[in-house]
């Protein structure tokens, strides 16, 4: 088994007047694990259904390797699929469920039983061949669905929230199993989830969707460290936002007026925004909680009052209310000994210049 490249070229799909996916383009490498991440209704399932061939795109094309498969029937696309609900046939045994795609494709009986045995051993379900789906746990049913999707050795595997029905512990265990399977088979995976942690753990790259549009595609580190939009910044990981107005704008300096909360001066314009910022423009600053540092000297330009301290094992999170009313989260490593700032203390904080992302507010 080996993965193939998948090229989505300006794909678009509307349901009546409702646009579900709009001019979406992504090139996926052979053997890559790509996640589609976005809130409910952002077009993830629609996109996957078009790749699988169960929905017809209104515009654009889908290529697998050097084949344009836009018009090709689902069972001729060399694609396996695990659906949002496992969609096992309830009246068929485990072995019959897994054999189904091969029977559909007219494989000979001996070949079928050999491939079914291999697929079941791949997902560690040997011995359960004769059970019905209702006699399996959620995790086992999910494995059957994976075995059924892999049994005809497709070059590409599509998975639509395959772990959505499982509890957290089993979900984390299955994430590792799926990742291991994908790596050992070298298969290309397109994986839908609305769980950002799941996407960050499993993916080579993540495509963030919003209202049918691609907001950004990049590695987990790209999205975390250099979000292209305020939406991505908010969706991936925890983020503090501060709204303000650009006051002074020099070649090497940006001053942002936060109203009653103070002024932040950044020595250079750390902005990836095009077009460039204008004086007087409304901007949204974004800073990760773990990039902020507490500073007990309260003569800092920006300070606030600690509203709460949350202990979470390895770290503390301080919720600090600024003069303008914004609540900022500051996360620090837990230290032993020494006194921690307490609820009600006034405290300043330091924001390293390279920790600030600036977004023009029109985009927010």
Ligand X SMILES: Nc1ncnc2c1ncn2[C@@H]1O[C@H](COP(=O)(O)OP(=O)(O)OP(=O)(O)O)[C@@H](O)[C@H]1O
Positions that interact with Mg ion (CB under 5 A):
45
> If binding is defined by CB under 6 A, does position 15 make contact with ligand X?
yes
Contact positions with ligand X (CB under 6 A) in 24-53: 38, 40-46
Helix 109-122 with 94-104: angle, nearest 10 deg = 130
Shortest distance, position 29 Cβ to ligand X, whole Å: 23
Q: Nearer to Mg ion by C-beta: 26 or 364?
A: 26
Contact positions with ligand X (CB under 6 A) in 168-207: 194
Six token digits for residue 12 = 């678009």
Shortest distance, position 84 Cβ to Mg ion, whole Å: 6
What whole-number distance in Å separates Cα of residue 143 and Cα of residue 138? 9
Radius of gyration (Cα) for the chain, nearest Å? 25
What whole-number distance in Å separates Cα of residue 205 and Cα of residue 285? 25
Q: Nearer to ligand X by C-beta: 40 or 335?
A: 40
Q: Nearer to ligand X by C-beta: 216 or 303?
A: 216
Torsion angle in degrees (nearest 10) through CA of 259, 243, 346, 296: -110
Separation of CA 285 from chain center:
22
| Residue 43 binds: one of Mg ion, ligand X, none (C-beta under 5 to 8 A by kind) | ligand X
What whole-number distance in Å separates Cα of residue 122 and Cα of residue 189? 16
| Residue 311 binds: one of ligand X, Mg ion, none (C-beta under 5 to 8 A by kind) | none
Shortest distance, position 49 Cβ to ligand X, whole Å: 8
> If binding is defined by CB under 6 A, does position 17 make contact with ligand X?
no
Shortest distance, position 44 Cβ to ligand X, whole Å: 3
Q: Read out DSSP for 106-141? A: T--HHHHHHHHHHHHHHTT-TT-TT--GGGS-HHHH
> E strands along 17-154, which residues?
18-28, 33-37, 59-64, 67-68, 79-82
Q: Nearer to ligand X by C-beta: 83 or 318?
A: 83
Q: Nearer to Mg ion by C-beta: 151 or 159?
A: 159
| Residue 46 binds: one of Mg ion, ligand X, none (C-beta under 5 to 8 A by kind) | ligand X
> If binding is defined by CB under 6 A, does position 54 make contact with ligand X?
no
Among 15-23, 198-206, 249-257, 272-280, the segment contacting ligand X (CB under 6 A): 15-23
Shortest distance, position 21 Cβ to ligand X, whole Å: 7
Q: Nearer to ligand X by C-beta: 15 or 311?
A: 15
Helix 168-185 with 138-150: angle, nearest 10 deg = 20
Phi-psi region of 242 (alpha: psi -120 to 50; beta: other; left: phi over 0): beta
Q: Nearer to ligand X by C-beta: 46 or 196?
A: 46
As to burial, measured by CB atoms within 10 angstroms (0-12 exposed, 13-18 middle, 19+ buried), residue 63 is middle
Question: Which strand (E) or helix (H) includes residue 7?
Answer: strand 6-15
Q: Which of 17, 18, 127, 260 binds ligand X (CB under 6 A)?
A: 18
Shortest distance, position 77 Cβ to Mg ion, whole Å: 20
Q: Nearer to Mg ion by C-beta: 45 or 175?
A: 45
Shortest distance, position 311 Cβ to ligand X, whole Å: 33
Question: Which strand (E) or helix (H) includes residue 94?
Answer: helix 94-104
Q: Which stretches of the chain bind ligand X, using CB under 6 A?
A: 15, 18, 20, 38, 40-46, 194
């Amino acid at each position: 088994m080996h993965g193939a490249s998948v090229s989505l070229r300006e794909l678009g799909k509307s349901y009546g007047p409702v646009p579900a996916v709009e001019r979406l383009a992504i090139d996926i490498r052979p053997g890559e694990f790509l996640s589609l991440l976005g809130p409910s209704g952002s077009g993830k399932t629609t996109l996957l259904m078009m790749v699988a061939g169960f929905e017809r795109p209104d515009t654009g094309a889908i290529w697998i390797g050097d084949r344009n498969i836009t018009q090709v029937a689902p069972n001729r696309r060399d694609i396996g699929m695990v659906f949002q609900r496992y969609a096992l046939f309830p009246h068929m045994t485990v072995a019959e469920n897994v054999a189904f795609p091969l029977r559909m494709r007219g494989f000979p009986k001996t070949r079928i039983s050999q491939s079914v045995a291999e697929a079941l051993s791949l997902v560690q379900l040997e011995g359960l061949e004769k059970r019905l789906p209702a006699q399996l746990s959620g995790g086992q049913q999910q494995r059957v669905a994976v075995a059924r999707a892999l049994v005809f050795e497709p070059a590409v595997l599509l998975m639509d929230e395959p772990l959505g029905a499982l509890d957290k512990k089993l979900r984390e265990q299955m994430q590792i199993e799926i990742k291991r399977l994908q790596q050992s088979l070298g298969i290309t995976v397109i994986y839908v989830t609305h769980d950002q942690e799941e996407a960050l753990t499993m993916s080579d790259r993540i495509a963030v969707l919003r209202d049918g549009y691609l907001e950004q595609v990049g590695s987990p580190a790209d999205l975390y460290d250099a979000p292209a939009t305020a939406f991505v910044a908010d969706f991936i990981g925890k983020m503090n936002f501060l709204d303000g107005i650009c006051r002074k704008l020099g070649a090497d300096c940006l001053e942002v007026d936060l109203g009653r909360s103070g002024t932040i001066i950044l020595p250079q314009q750390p902005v990836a925004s095009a077009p460039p910022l204008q004086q007087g423009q409304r901007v949204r600053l974004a800073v990760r909680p773990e990039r902020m540092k507490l500073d007990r000297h309260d003569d800092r330009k920006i300070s606030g009052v600690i509203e709460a301290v949350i202990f979470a094992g390895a770290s503390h999170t301080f919720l600090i209310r600024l003069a303008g009313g914004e609540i900022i989260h500051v996360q620090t490593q837990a230290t032993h000994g020494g006194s921690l700032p307490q609820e009600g203390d006034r405290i300043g904080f330091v924001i390293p210049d390279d920790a600030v992302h600036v977004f023009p507010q029109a985009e927010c």
